[in-house]
Amino acid sequence: MTLTQLTNARLIDPETGSESLGDLHVKDGVIAPAGRADTVVDCRGKCLAPGIVDIGVKVCEPGERHKESYASAGRAAAAGGVTTMVTRPDTDPTIDTAEILEFVNRRAQADSIVNVLHMAALTKGRQGREMTEIGFLQDAGAVAFTDCDSVVTDTKVLSRALSYAKSLDALVIGHIQEPNLSTGAVATSGKFASLRGLPAVTPMAERMGLDRDVAMVEMTGVRYHADQITTARALPALERAKQNGLDITAGTSIHHLTLNSYDVADYRTFFKLKPPLRDEDDRLAIVDAVASGLIDIISSMHTPQDEESKRLPFEEAASGAVSLETMLPAAMRLVHGGYMDLPTLWKALSLNPANRLGLDAGRLSVGAPADMVLFDPDAPFQLNRFELQSKSKNTPFDDARLQGKVLGTWVAGTSVFGDL
């Protein structure tokens, strides 16, 4: 068995919160103790960090493979330093039975060059009426249960599903949004939406959604993760819930950390997201919450859409953006802006999501899988969306000036991107 030594690397260690120049050794796909190396890779002082664990990636199999397949998503992930994709069940059909889950798992194992884990729906067809076979799905490999952006409105159904999930120690991921208030909304209410004449939802709808789900967690004791917190007003409720000892974590999306409602400008549909982009005050509050650790996880919320579904009037256009490849450079804006250091950022990108799912990944300690990304945090470039690996090119960062280039990505010690 050969020992590879990655030398002269700026090691970003989210576990210890440290950043130091040093070496890392890899043997048999895991991070190994130092020893006499058979091969040496010179990292030339660039940053070596655990690969990103991305909860909430949409790969459009089954149903819409023309938008994204496991092969293309895997390539995009590798190019973006994402070594584990945790996929969403909001496909067509919904991933809500063990049979469908086994199918997508086969597809993923055959085609994806990075690790793939799957989430399954909490209710059948994401309809919010009957719970799925949580036990069978768990046996088939589902790591979490979520109806994605479709909120279970019937609290009786939800309380039963959560109680049942609790009995299996399953993780449930909720989309926090008061569903009636947000019906038909495509923007956050405020000056911008009013001037543009877009149907909008108050940011309060998010806090109301969180309040409800926190009560549900208190009632059932389920392990719960809020997929995207994007408004300042939801943060005190999250903080209280954590202080009260509930098993709650929260995430946010890379877009809500780096863009605001005004970026929509003249009805640019690539900026149409769910929940919609927020005002700058909210964005800054969410950035602070990630820096302080109140928000645990940053996700790409990678949502491929083809040109046809975006080239429509804003209200009718599909929501979501691709972001597997742009998450790392976009997140560098938070570092270059002085909001947080690299180890803190990497807690949210790799360590915390891995811990939440009970994975060994997401860290650089001996024995952990050698899932790693080597990147230059300063390298500038201008993004051309047609150069993305994703089949869909719907990125809000088209033409944006970004800093931070992935130089190499390894999954279990095997290079999947870069030529180092």
Answer for which of 120, 193, 321, 359 binds other proteins (CB under 8 A) is 193
Is residue 189 at the binding interface for other proteins, with CB under 8 A as the rule?
yes
Q: Is 262 or 381 the residue whose CB approaches other proteins more closely?
A: 262
39 versus 194: smaller Cβ distance to other proteins: 194
**In the structure encoding, which two tokens stand for residue 98, read together?**
């063990």
* 3 state SS of 167: helix
DSSP summary character for residue 302: B
The least CB distance from residue 187 to other proteins, in Å, is: 10
Q: Which residues pair with 20 in a beta bridge?
A: 11
Query: How does strand 200-201 pair with strand 297-299?
Result: unpaired
Binding to other proteins, residues 315-344 (CB under 8 A): 315-316
Q: Is 232 in the site for other proteins (CB under 8 A)?
A: no
* CA dist., res. 5 & res. 43, Å (int): 10
- Do the Cβ atoms of 331 and 254 come closer than 8 Å? yes
- Residue 195 makes contact with other proteins by CB under 8 A: yes
Closest to other proteins by CB, 200 vs 229, is 200
Distance CA 8, CA 27 (A): 18
DSSP state of 157: H
Q: Which is nearer to other proteins, 148 or 198 (CB)?
A: 198
Residue span 252-271 as binding mask against other proteins, x where in contact by CB under 8 A, dash where not: --------------xx----
Distance of alpha carbon 256 from alpha carbon 265, whole angstroms: 16
User: Counting beta carbons within 10 angstroms of the beta carbon of residue 20, is it exposed (0 to 12), middle (13 to 18) or buried (19 or more)?
Assistant: exposed
CB under 8 Å to 76, separation ≥6 — which residues? 68, 82, 302, 322, 324, 325, 388, 389, 390
Identity of the residue, 197 or 221, whose beta carbon is nearer to other proteins in the bound complex: 197
Q: Does 196 bind other proteins (CB under 8 A)?
A: yes
Under rule CB under 8 A, residue 419 binds other proteins: no
Quick one: 33 or 184, whose CB is closer to other proteins?
184
The answer to the question of residue 92 lying near other proteins (CB under 8 A) is: no
To other proteins, the closest distance from the beta carbon of 105 in angstroms equals 36
- Residue 197 as a binder of other proteins (CB under 8 A): the answer is yes
Map the footprint of other proteins across residues 297-316, applying CB under 8 A. 308, 311-316
Q: Which stretch binds other proteins (CB under 8 A): 10-18, 187-195, 220-228, 327-335?
A: 187-195
Nearer CB in complex with other proteins: 316/399: 316
Sheet architecture: strand order including 171-174: 52-57, 82-87, 115-120, 142-146, 171-174, 223-226, 248-253, 297-299
CA distances from 138 to 31, 99, 181, 202, 358 (A): 28, 12, 33, 36, 14
Closest approach, Cβ 87 to other proteins, in A, equals 29
Nearest approach, Cβ of 8 to other proteins (angstroms)? 50
Contact flag: residue 364 with other proteins (CB under 8 A): no
Q: Kindly list the residues in this chain that would bind other proteins in the complex (CB under 8 A).
A: 189-200, 202, 266-267, 308, 311-316
